[in-house]
A and B are shown apart, each in its own frame.
Chain A
Amino acid sequence: MIYVYILAMALVTYLIRVLPLTLIRKEITNTLVKSFLYYVPYVTLAVMTFPAIIFATSSIWSGMAALIVAMVLAWFDRSLFQVAMISCTVVFILEIFVA
């Protein structure tokens, strides 16, 4: 059954990625649709990140520290890789002291 789930999700994801690229030759002009799609990634990612990040770790405080450190690093345009890895390191070090 899980393979059916994966296939169904893959199909939806592929259609979303491939249809505009193959079908749309002109630019989207509807401002509302364009604006909605423009804001979706930021909202989805923000909603998924908070408050989930503070409940992801063993202690709320290490999660909170990871959130702040990640936001500061991202603010200064550090790469995806750096932000992800340094957040993990912060949690790891903090939890040594907490425990």
Chain B
Amino acid sequence: MEKTNLQWFKEGMKNGIPIGLGYFAVAFTLGIVAKKAGVTVFQAGLTSFALHASAGQYIAFTLIAGHATILEMMIMEAIANARYMLMSCAMSQKLDSDVPTWKRLIMGYFITDEIFGVAVTVPEKLNPFYCFGMAAVASPGWVSGTMLGVVLGNVLPLRVVSALSVGLYGMFIAIFIPPARKNKIIAGIVAVSFALSFLFNQLPLFAGISSGIKIIILTVAISLGAAILFPVKDE
């Protein structure tokens, strides 16, 4: 018995609840970053709805705070969010070819690490309404969390803010460590990334380069090196 669009949507909403809760907490810490960057509640909420990207928004607020140029921002977003391109490619393989463009346009808007991760585990072909359901719950969690972070970020005691500021990094770690455990090459690449990032941060030679540019240089150099040394074979 094939599931209807409504059934897929409801199932998506159910799976969207834990995602939305996690987003709320993580977005709260992002709101603190936004507040520090001088971004208002509305602007932060808008950024969250416009980007739906943890790392991408962290960079966005950092660059806004650093008075970066618009070109620098666009390049950084392209690099920080490059993984969504790969996810989008993978997702295109999960769709029936007769899925209309308008559904693809909405699905694409809501590709995040978590929604992608849950969506591709569906054994059959992917019904876009499954993603719509997840997004319907997860996106409000993300947006409201960010806005509350801006509002409460400076009301909360300094100690609480200090504690919450590692939340986002905790989330990044939760994304790259599990694959590193299962794959020695990824583990090695993470180790090299840590080491080079630390060097870049410490060496006076690189002191004049903005943190955004450091991330671009390191990401492109290390990923390209890894791609040449350890090309990924087809599964």
Chain A positions within 8 Å of B, measured between CB atoms, are: 2-10, 12-14, 16-22, 24-25, 27-28, 31-32, 34-53, 56-58, 62-63, 66-67, 70-71, 73-75, 77-89, 91-92, 95-96, 99
Contact present for A44 and B231 (CB under 8 Å)? no
Known contacts A17-B111, A46-B197, A66-B170; is A88 also within 8 Å of B97 by CB? no
Contact present for A83 and B173 (CB under 8 Å)? yes
Question: Looking at the complex, which one of A43, A51, A58, A77 makes contact with B222 (CB distance below 8 Å)?
Answer: A43
A-side binding surface: helix, strand, loop or mixed?
helix
Contact present for B88 and A50 (CB under 8 Å)? no
Residue B86 at the A interface, CB < 8 A? yes
Q: Could you say which residues of chain B place their CB within 8 Å of the CB of A2?
A: 39, 43, 64
Q: Could you say which residues of chain B place their CB within 8 Å of the CB of A81?
A: 18, 21-22, 25-26
Q: For the complex, count residues of B whose C-beta is within 8 A of A.
A: 95
Query: Complex: how many Å from CA A71 to CA B193?
Result: 15
Q: Could you say which residues of chain B place their CB within 8 Å of the CB of A62?
A: 162
Contact present for B175 and A80 (CB under 8 Å)? yes
Residue B53 at the A interface, CB < 8 A? yes
Contact present for B86 and A38 (CB under 8 Å)? yes
Contact present for B186 and A42 (CB under 8 Å)? yes
Some 22 contacts from A to B, beta carbons below 8 A apart, are A2-B43, A4-B70, A6-B51, A8-B70, A16-B88, A17-B108, A18-B108, A32-B231, A35-B231, A39-B186, A39-B189, A40-B82, A41-B86, A44-B80, A49-B176, A66-B166, A73-B174, A74-B176, A83-B173, A83-B174, A84-B26, A86-B170
Contact present for B163 and A49 (CB under 8 Å)? no
Query: Complex: how many Å from CA A10 to CA B50?
Result: 5
Question: Looking at the complex, which one of A22, A35, A80 makes contact with B227 (CB distance below 8 Å)?
Answer: A35
Known contacts A17-B85, A42-B193; is A25 also within 8 Å of B173 by CB? no
Question: Looking at the complex, which one of B43, B60, B105, B176 makes contact with A41 (CB distance below 8 Å)?
Answer: B176
Contact present for B51 and A16 (CB under 8 Å)? no
Q: Could you say which residues of chain A place their CB within 8 Å of the CB of B171?
A: 80, 83-84
Contact present for B104 and A21 (CB under 8 Å)? yes
Question: Looking at the complex, which one of B166, B168, B189, B197 makes contact with A91 (CB distance below 8 Å)?
Answer: B166
